[in-house]
Amino acid sequence: MEAGACIIVSAGDFPSRLRINKEEGDLVIAADAGYKALADAGIAPDVFVGDGDSLGTIPDSCEAVKLPEIKDDTDTVAAVKLGFDRGYKLFILYGALGGKRFSHSVANLQTLSYIDSRGGVGMIFDDNCTVTVLSGENHPRFHIRGDDGYFSLFALGADAEVSISGAKYESDSVRLSPSFPLGVSNEPRGECFVTVHSGKVLLICETGTD
């Protein structure tokens, strides 16, 4: 198993104030037009994955995995599967939100759930938020650092039972439903922890106070 992270850059909004610091053992994958975002940032990917529709070409400057135009997997999901095949369990996604197509943002949130279902950890980084999936089965506990901003919890697929400590709104056990946003806009207070007892939740940490 690889000890590093699989860093995937997709074609959404690329964070302006976040920098990719590639460490030894990391794998950087450009998911189609994510190649351009990496090039603009002066970062050379290890692998290109995609059918070239959004980039307009298949680059020859790195390893390229060309996908068919008609496929079930998005370019980002194909990149995640490649990472799993190469032994990675930690996935860091940039450019996975925003962009011209809202549907791809939703698809990438589902991709986090897919990563969790395979026993991995996936995190989306954007300018103003960090997004991950927690589940009672695979990744039940998360430490939210800092006392600035908000965090929100949304049940995925079915009801989820969670505990929250060190926050403005705390609970030893609260049930979240996918049909009602009860877990939106909580605030950490020092050492904040979220524990998922059952089900699966989408955790969104947002900076700022707007």
Residue 120, classified by CB atoms within 10 Å of its CB into exposed (0-12), middle (13-18) or buried (19+), is: buried
pTM: 0.92
Q: What is the pLDDT of residue 208?
A: 63
Q: Identify whether the C-beta of residue 170 lies closer than 8 Å to the C-beta of residue 162.
A: no
pLDDT tier, 11 (very low <50, low <70, confident <90, very high otherwise): confident
Question: Which of 61-70, 132-141, 150-159 shows the lowest per-residue confidence on average (mean pLDDT)?
Answer: 61-70
**What is residue 2's DSSP assignment?**
-
Q: Can you give the pLDDT at residue 101?
A: 84
pLDDT over 70 (residue 210): no
For the beta carbon of residue 146, count every other beta carbon within 10 angstroms. Answer: 11
Domains for the chain: give ranges and CATH numbers. Answer: 5-127 (3.40.50.10240), 133-206 (2.60.120.320)
Residue 38's contacts (CB-CB under 8 Å, 6 or more residues apart) are 9, 20, 28, 30, 44, 45
186-202 b/e with 16+ CB inside 10 Å = b? bebeeebebbbeebbbb
Say which amino acid occupies 183: G
- Kindly state the tokens that stand for 148: 């600035």
pLDDT, mean of residues 129-149: 89
Report the chain's C-alpha Rg in angstroms: 17
Where is pLDDT greater, at 184 or 101? 184
Token code pair at residue 52: 């070239």
| Distance between CA atoms of residues 60 and 62, nearest Å | 6
Q: How confident is the model at residue 147 (pLDDT cuts 50, 70, 90)?
A: low
Across the range 4-32, mean pLDDT stands at 86
